Structure 1
Amino acid sequence: MPLEIRSLSKTLGDFQLRNVSLTIKDSEYFIILGQSGAGKTILLETIAGIHRPDTGRIFLDGTDITDTPARHRHIGMVYQDYMLFPHLNVEKNIGFGLKQLGEPGEIIRNAVEEISALLGIKHLLERNPETLSGGEQQRVAIARALIIRPRVLLLDEPLSALDAITRRKMRTELSRLPSLTGVSVIHITHHAEDLISLGHRSAVMDEGSVIQVGNPDEIFQNPQTPFVAAFTGMENLFSGIARESHEGKIIRVGTVRIHAITPLTGPVFFGIRSEDLIFSREILKSSARNVLKATVTKIRIMGSLAWVMVDCGICLTGVLTVQSLFELEIDDGDVVYITFKASAVTVFPDENGTGKKGIIS
């Protein structure tokens, strides 16, 4: 493993990074996902050597670098705002790190030519940073970090300042970095789409702790906590009481009964992804065990998809193609049937045992 983080903790003011352990593989694109204030940037800065951990160790290729100065760690970092030097042109910005290391001018020029060609920015070398687009500035910042040939590249919210079209294009370009350069990438973000498009594996962080690690499918299909489920787009999250019955496991939320597959009983949280809800105007003949009569309360159309909100004793949101919406002739106030499998219900323990009924906010 090129990078191993063992039981890392750090207190900065009122914030605490708590006992973080991670391993990053060779040429891996690793996403750290979490909301603002989760501790993602502090973790990256501690890995980079900007902060010294209070406890825990950091290893690079088996060598303990916890006390190694940042400039000697063979770790590159690109901040959210790119931090290009406005008084230097693109060529000098990219070559800055090698110049600081005392490399001869010819070696710097050759290295700048090589990395700028690799990232498709060779034509920008004479330009000044303020004349570049957001995507071009990002490529320059990445080139400046890669030119020192780091073992690990740290990216702090690299796509957040870009428009949607540029963001999609840059995801494609970023995904190629490990295969093109051999570098391992750690990319922090609060966008779950980055995990889908980029990540080989991911860690989800909340309040300074890593709460789940896995590949994108594991994170999305098998979230370990309601927080992970909500953060990865599970819109229908509730709390209720799970009980055994002659029909199998039933979760009650008020008067609503939900069939689920779970070993848990008592107070639980549970969630259903919008795409797992099937809409119909009549009761379907299906093996799915959950069939709920509902009233449409709101329809929100975005592009080719429609989000349909219904009230069936609990408020659910499902997603349909616009074509399906029109074919079913669903409109506000209509009565519909919602069908979903027991296996589509993800159940989490309610560790506080509150048993509070209703939606999780």
Structure 2
Amino acid sequence: MIRIDRLNVRLPGFSLKSVDLCVEQGEFFCLLGPTGAGKTLILESVAGVVTIAGGRIVVSGCDVTGLPPEGRGVGIVYQDCALFPHLSVGRNIDFGLRYHRRSIPAGRAMCRDLIDRLGLASLLDRSVTTLSGGEKQRVALARALATAPTVLLLDEPLSSLDPCFREEIRDLFRSLHRETGLTVLMVTHDFTDAHSLAQRVAILNDGHVEQVGTVEEVFRRPLTAFVADFVGMKNVLPVRVENGIPFIGDLALAMPGRKGHFRHAAIRPEHIHLLPAGSDAMSNGSFTGRITTISNQGFFAELTVDAAGVIFKTVMLTSSLVVMDLRQGAAVSLQIDPADIHLI
């Protein structure tokens, strides 16, 4: 497990601000957030490769705050793999053994098992400069695991890979985690990684944690406007409440029983459905508006609609757009199920 208590790191122009985080034993945990939010800095703080200004880091029950990187029981895989170009694949994999207490024979036995499991046996004498992106990531993973760490840290390990390799390595991470029970902390900006690998996630923003929870909790029930926008709720709109009724601009939301002091309404674009204005299928509580832009993305189109001065973003299949003959400037009805409106 990993426990981070009030972690502070100060760099010129940026700092981590009293970050608290707990990753359970055997959990696959993802750190998400925009570029520059501090995700990699948290990873490097756990690994011991940056100097922290305050706080405590516990790994597998041991306070490692003052320990050097090789004494923390942590393996790390970077986005660019960080392999040694002057060493062969085999020498890259067993490089870290000399800095750990594990005996060389036991370590080499572990390496042989990893080499077989990761399909690297035929590559051992090759220069790492001749490898594909997927092969390099497998070598970097073998090197990180060769010292038998209790925690594996992954820093955007899939972002530089071609799509054909990305799913291969994602499947590899999934199977290794299932087979070994390793505690994994992964930095990523890809929602697919979070949905397919993580049990829980944390969303970072400007050096602090905005929300922690299961993937479903964070993506379906964001706690802040920032998290809602980050996880794809493209419609994050200011709300005011009058006599218990939430309003977006002059549009009243038909949401009986939803009481509270709300500041924003968040709606995913796919939850806003368009019909030609005056359609027989129009329901109570629907809004009328006019299409202001259409961006064709191939199989689907992104649209913006102006409804009484409120701009909504939605998506629909291109085929449906053609069938309904919806064009820029067309009058439409916006259908939104109240259950799909998330009040913050």
Q: What is the TM-score of this pair, normalised by structure 2?
A: 0.91
Q: What does the per-residue CA deviation read over 1:220-255, in whole Å, with 9 as the maximum and x for residues that have no partner?
A: 1000111111111111122232222xxx523131x3
Of 306, 314, 318, the residue aligned with 1:322 is 318
What is the CA–CA distance in structure 2 between the aligned matches of 1:214 and 1:194, rounded to whole Å?
15
Q: Alpha carbons of 1:54 and 1:150: their partners in 2 closer, same or farther (altered >3 Å)?
A: same
What is the CA–CA distance in structure 1 between the aligned matches of 2:236 and 2:280, rounded to whole Å?
24
Equivalent in the alignment of 2:340: 344
Equivalent in the alignment of 1:301: 296
What is the CA–CA distance in structure 1 between the aligned matches of 2:28 and 2:285, rounded to whole Å?
39
Q: Once structures 1 and 2 are overlaid, which stretch shifts more, 107-116 or 74-83?
A: 107-116
Tell me the SS of whatever aligns to 2:36. Answer: coil
Opposite residue 270 of structure 1, the aligned amino acid is: A
**Cα displacement (A) at 1:104:** 6.2
**Cα displacement (A) at 1:144:** 0.4
Q: What does the per-residue CA deviation read over 1:200-237, in whole Å, with 9 as the maximum and x for residues that have no partner?
A: 10010111111100111101100011111111111112
Identical aligned residues as a percent? 36
Q: Alpha carbons of 1:307 and 1:155: their partners in 2 closer, same or farther (altered >3 Å)?
A: same
Give yes or no for contact 1:52–1:67 (8 Å, CA) kept in 2. Answer: no
What is the CA–CA distance in structure 1 between the aligned matches of 2:63 and 2:342, rounded to whole Å?
40
What is the CA–CA distance in structure 1 between the aligned matches of 2:164 and 2:231, rounded to whole Å?
21
Equivalent in the alignment of 1:353: none
Equivalenced residue count is 340
**Cα displacement (A) at 1:38:** 0.8
Equivalent in the alignment of 2:264: 269
Q: Does 2:309 correspond to 1:310?
A: no
Equivalent in the alignment of 1:61: 60
Equivalent in the alignment of 1:93: 92
What is the CA–CA distance in structure 1 between the aligned matches of 2:163 and 2:286, rounded to whole Å?
38
Gaps of 5+ in 2: none
What is the CA–CA distance in structure 1 between the aligned matches of 2:337 and 2:280, rounded to whole Å?
14
Opposite residue 274 of structure 1, the aligned amino acid is: P
Q: What does the per-residue CA deviation read over 1:285-329, in whole Å, with 9 as the maximum and x for residues that have no partner?
A: 54xx53111222232333433222222232212122333333333
Tell me the SS of whatever aligns to 2:242. Answer: strand
Opposite residue 278 of structure 1, the aligned amino acid is: H
Tell me the SS of whatever aligns to 2:67. Answer: coil
Q: What is the TM-score of this pair, normalised by structure 1?
A: 0.87
Q: Once structures 1 and 2 are overlaid, which stretch shifts more, 296-305 or 37-46?
A: 296-305
Equivalent in the alignment of 1:203: 202
Q: Does 2:42 correspond to 1:43?
A: yes
What is the CA–CA distance in structure 1 between the aligned matches of 2:38 and 2:149, rounded to whole Å?
23
What is the CA–CA distance in structure 2 between the aligned matches of 1:47 and 1:103, rounded to whole Å?
21
Equivalent in the alignment of 2:287: 292
**Cα displacement (A) at 1:60:** 1.9
Opposite residue 82 of structure 1, the aligned amino acid is: C
**Cα displacement (A) at 1:180:** 2.4
Tell me the SS of whatever aligns to 1:87. Answer: coil
**Cα displacement (A) at 1:116:** 1.6
Of 309, 331, 340, the residue aligned with 2:327 is 331
**Cα displacement (A) at 1:193:** 2.7
**Cα displacement (A) at 1:118:** 1.5
Equivalent in the alignment of 1:354: none
Of 243, 247, 254, the residue aligned with 1:251 is 247
Opposite residue 228 of structure 1, the aligned amino acid is: V
Q: What does the per-residue CA deviation read over 1:145-184, in whole Å, with 9 as the maximum and x for residues that have no partner?
A: 0111111111111112112332233222222231122211
Q: Once structures 1 and 2 are overlaid, which stretch shifts more, 63-72 or 257-266?
A: 257-266
Equivalent in the alignment of 2:126: 127
Gaps of 5+ in 1: 349-361
